[in-house]
Structures are given as structure tokens and as C-alpha cells.
Amino acid sequence: MIDKNRRVLILLDGVINLLFGIILLLFPWGVGQWLGLVVPDNHFFPTLLGAVILGIGLALLLEWRR
């Protein structure tokens, strides 16, 4: 059984990961420019990272509901 503090932490982490994942999926070029990074012509890796972070967020929310 997970205590209340850990459940809150899992929920917050899941929501934050979902938000970051959605932002990276929708705006892969904008995030790099906003952070001041070199933005490549190909947006494959930022999109892939967004999908992975989104999946981690979903897994955390599933764990929170359990």
C-alpha cells in the first residue's frame, strides 16, 4: 500500500510529465528556441522525447489510480 505522500508525488510527477510530453509533441521546434538551443532541421528526436515522456506520464497516472 502506498502512503498518501507518495500518491501525491506520483500524481504530480505524472501530470508534469504529461504536460511536458504534450508540449514537446506539439511544439518541438519552439521548445528548443525558447531554451536557446541550436534547433536542427529535423524534429525527430524532440518529438520522440515528447512521446516517451508522455508515455511515462500515463504510466505514472495508471500507477496512481491503482
- pLDDT at position 41, please? 82
* pLDDT higher at 55 or 66: 55
Spell out the residues 6+ positions from residue 7 whose beta carbon is closer than 8 angstroms to its own.
64
Instruction: Locate 1 and state its grid cell.
Output: 500500500
Q: Grade residue 1 by pLDDT with cuts at 50, 70 and 90.
A: low
- pLDDT, tens digit, 9 for 90 and up, residues 22-49: 998 998 878 778 878 787 788 888 899 9
Q: What is the DSSP letter of 36?
A: T
- pLDDT at position 61, please? 96
Q: Read off the pTM.
A: 0.84
- pLDDT at position 33, please? 82
Residue numbers of the domain that contains 57: 4-65
Number of structural domains the chain divides into: 1
